[in-house]
Amino acid sequence: MTESVARPSSNRARQWAAGAVIVGVVVSSAAVAVGRSGGSDSGSPSATPSTDAVNVDAGVRDAKAIAVLSAQERALARGSQKAYVQTWDQRSAAQRRSATIVGNLSALRVKALHARYVAADNVGLSSDEQRRLGGSAWTADVDVAWRLQGVDLADARTTLTYTFVARGQKVFVADVTGATGEHEPIWLLGPLDVRRSDRTVVAATNRASAEQLDERLQQAVADVHRVLPDWHGHLVSYGPSTQDEFDRLVAAVPRAYSGIAAVTTTVDGSRDPAAPIAIVANPTVFDGLGPIGSHVVISHEATHVATGATTVAMPLWVAEGFADYVGVGSVDVPLRVSARAAIRDIRNFGLPDELPNDAAFRARSAVEAAYEEAWLAIRVIARDYGQGRLVAFYEDVVRRPNAVARSLRDNLGITEQALTRTWQTYLRTVADGR
């Protein structure tokens, strides 16, 4: 693929109490730091800060910064939080920041943080910030890689902005933040409440979110297992406290996801199928959901994780219909509620001519009904061919996302036109309340 997989949210969750059932979303990462800052591919620092910003030799400065990063990596590998904190500036704000970060890394069981110094930024700090730090200071792009031990099979990778300060002959880290346009690691937020079980990991910035997500994630494991008994993977979920924290975690422009309850995304925004994946709850919507709504949302998202659909550009009616087959199917809600938008549209406009296309999932006026119609199409397949053949069809589409017609023929022995006619008949039955 040349573009990221971006799947829009549904506004259909009014029936769940508030918010939206969201599909798996991968927000593409920004250009790598090298391209953004002008550094070389070899990783050799090539940007030289102006003499009025930093009064130490650039080569010496960068070498010492690289040494600090190496010292931090060794400290984490040894499990020495004290040694890690000692690499930070001794000012109280930096010490508090370092203690929070290393505490989060420990709680998440991040045993290694591989950091590669890319390039210094000529204009990263204002004169006021220079004065506040009280020393020769600069910022630099640093590529980092990490994974949750025992959970992730590959590293997540992103670019962070490090602030370094020279104190005499020594260099220390003064701050670390997410780089513009990059997914910010959860461990850079405030102190985390981390909960884990054999199959789940939750990291949230407040206790209430941690408790709720922990319960919902464990429910989701059971819900997914009922449909996909051969799945034995892990689920990871993040619970930020504010919209701003959510936006930073998924690298979103402000308010772009203001109506979304949760997204499933690779942690670093990459399209690599092996990249770590997390379900990120949006507090401005998710916190308003009741028990049924939050249950449906998380089990829906967990289905994307379990089936590897997050990085696959498959037709949305298959991806979202199947995710709702698991999520909505896990709760006892009557069809007049769970298919309310579809029933309304059928009564007002008649039966749809075709299965929902991808554009319908992006149209505010149609997205609610699109999700429900896709879910009802999947229900029809399960009703007529059994859950086992439904799963075989779905998994075949994941493997061959551009060959749905062939997957229908190979696994169900039908054409898309035949499925559409059967689905239309079922929609009429649902709309008539029969």
Helix (H) or strand (E) holding 244: helix 243-250
How far separated are the first and last CA of the chain, in Å rounded? 43
The candidate with the shortest Cα–Cα distance to 274, out of 108, 392, 151, is 151
CA distance 108 to 102: 10
- What mean pLDDT comes out for the span 148-162? 96
pTM of the predicted structure, to 2 decimals:
0.85
Q: Let me know: does 209 contact 186? Beta carbons within 8 Å.
A: no
165 bridge partner residues:
137, 172
Angle in degrees, CA 361, 24, 15, rounded to 5: 60
- What mean pLDDT comes out for the span 127-132? 85
CA distance 425 to 428: 5
For residue 153, pLDDT over 90 is answered with: yes
The string of DSSP letters for 362-387 reads T-TTTHHHHHHHHHHHHHHHHHHH-H
State the average pLDDT for the chain: 86
Q: At 329, is the pLDDT very low, low, confident or very high (cuts 50, 70, 90)? A: very high
CA 399, 402, 407, 409: dihedral to nearest 10 degrees? -160
Q: At 50, is the pLDDT very low, low, confident or very high (cuts 50, 70, 90)? A: very low
Q: At 300, is the pLDDT very low, low, confident or very high (cuts 50, 70, 90)? A: very high
Residue 14's pLDDT is: 33
Residue 68's pLDDT is: 98
Residue 90's pLDDT is: 93
- What mean pLDDT comes out for the span 62-89? 96
For residue 1, pLDDT over 80 is answered with: no
CA distance 361 to 352: 14
Report the range of poorest mean pLDDT among 6-10, 25-29, 106-110, 207-211: 25-29
Q: Considering Cα of 103, then 105, then 109, then 112, what sign does the dihedral take?
A: negative
Query: Among the ranges 11-20, 33-42, 200-209, 358-367, which has the highest mean pLDDT value?
Result: 200-209
For residue 29, pLDDT over 60 is answered with: no
For residue 392, pLDDT over 70 is answered with: yes
Residue 10's pLDDT is: 38
Q: Let me know: does 85 contact 95? Beta carbons within 8 Å.
A: yes
Over residues 178-188, the pLDDT tens digits come to 998 999 999 99
The share of the chain scoring above pLDDT 70, in percent, equals 87
Paired tokens of 357: 């296309």
Q: At 56, is the pLDDT very low, low, confident or very high (cuts 50, 70, 90)? A: low
CA distance 234 to 221: 8
- What mean pLDDT comes out for the span 280-305? 95
Residue 122's pLDDT is: 63
- What mean pLDDT comes out for the span 248-258? 87
CA of 169: how far to CAs of 56, 134, 166, in Å? Answer: 10, 14, 7
DSSP code of 275? Answer: S
Over residues 107-123, the pLDDT tens digits come to 999 999 999 999 898 66
Residue 6's pLDDT is: 34
- Which ranges of 283-434 does DSSP label H, i.e. alpha helix? 283-286, 291-306, 316-327, 335-338, 340-349, 367-385, 387-399, 404-412, 416-431
What is the residue type of 315?
P
For residue 256, pLDDT over 90 is answered with: no
